Amino acid sequence: MNKQSIKVACSNCNLRELCMPVGLSDHDLTKLDELVATRRKVKRGTNLFNNGDKFTSLYAIRTGFFKTALATEDGRDQVTGFQMAGEIIGLDGIVNDHHTCDAIALEDAEVCVMPFDRIEEISREVTALQTHVHKIMSREIVREHGVMLLLGSMRAEERVAAFLLNLVQRLHARGFSQSELVLRMTREEIGSYLGLKLETVSRTFSKFVEEGIVEVKQRHLRILNTQALQNLVNNQASCSNG
């Protein structure tokens, strides 16, 4: 078990504005500090939770990078998302009291464990938290709508372009570069998420390199022409620069 008990508090966490409501009174902040039971470290390659596990808590990612994936008995496999610092995982477990997907750390990670009964309890008292929880769930629904659009109507190049833009945008919101990123996942995992085979992902990267849109060195990727990617996603004629 990769569990550690450390007394922690949201009130002095530098990620608070990413995963918690802002503008709280001191009084409410104090209550919020009862939210996180413990922190838990998750080694790269190990699971935070598994399909079938009893649902008890939501997890706020402090550091590291996760994927969530469905694996069916008949061998189908689908990555349903990639999650990074400040994002919440575990929402799938609420409806049936057990998880319906796996959450796997793609690099050494640490999460804040938030027992869900405690979330519900504090939500009843702190309106801002109640609203926040609703927004987090709604955001996930909207995100998945976007993935459905991608999977249902985009060609391979468009999917990869949308994927890269989304990733770099989220990283930028966390203070990283707008143009450089390190892919924490394999081509196969990208492919699974995008409904493509790993070879197609690889070929698409190569094509983007040929066209001068990105530089790729293994998992290190630099975007040279954001606008070109944007145009692909927006179904528009190419544009020399942006």
Partner DNA sequence: CGACACCTTGAAGAGGTTCAAGAAATGTGG
Partner DNA sequence: CCACATTTCTTGAACCTCTTCAAGGTGTCG
Q: Which residue bears the tokens 């990869």?
A: 160
Q: In sequence order, what DSSP letters do the residues of 41-84 get, joined into one string?
A: EE-TT-EEE-TTPBP-EEEEEEEEEEEEEEE-TTS-EEEEEEEE
Go through the chain and tell me how many residues it has.
242
Which lies closer to its own copies via its Cβ, residue 1 or residue 95?
95
Which lies closer to its own copies via its Cβ, residue 134 or residue 219?
134
**Footprint on this chain of DNA (rule: CB under 7 A):** 155-157, 183, 186-188, 195-203, 205-206, 216-219
**Footprint on this chain of its own copies (rule: CB under 8 A):** 70, 72-78, 80, 91-96, 100-101, 120, 123-125, 127, 130-131, 133-142, 144-145, 147-149, 151-154, 192-195, 234-236
Q: How far is the CB of 153 from its own copies (least distance, A)?
A: 5
Binding partner of 147, given its own copies, DNA, none, CB within 5-8 angstroms per partner class: its own copies
Q: How far is the CB of 193 from DNA (least distance, A)?
A: 12
Q: Residue 86 is encoded by which pair of tokens?
A: 């400040």
Binding partner of 226, given DNA, its own copies, none, CB within 5-8 angstroms per partner class: none
Secondary structure (H, E, C), 100-144: CCEEEEEEEEEEEEEEHHHHHHHHHHCHHHHHHHHHHHHHHHHHH
Axis crossing angle, helix 226-233 with helix 156-173, rounded to the nearest 10: 120
Q: How far is the CB of 229 from DNA (least distance, A)?
A: 15
Q: Residue 171 is encoded by which pair of tokens?
A: 């990283």
Q: How far is the CB of 16 from DNA (least distance, A)?
A: 32
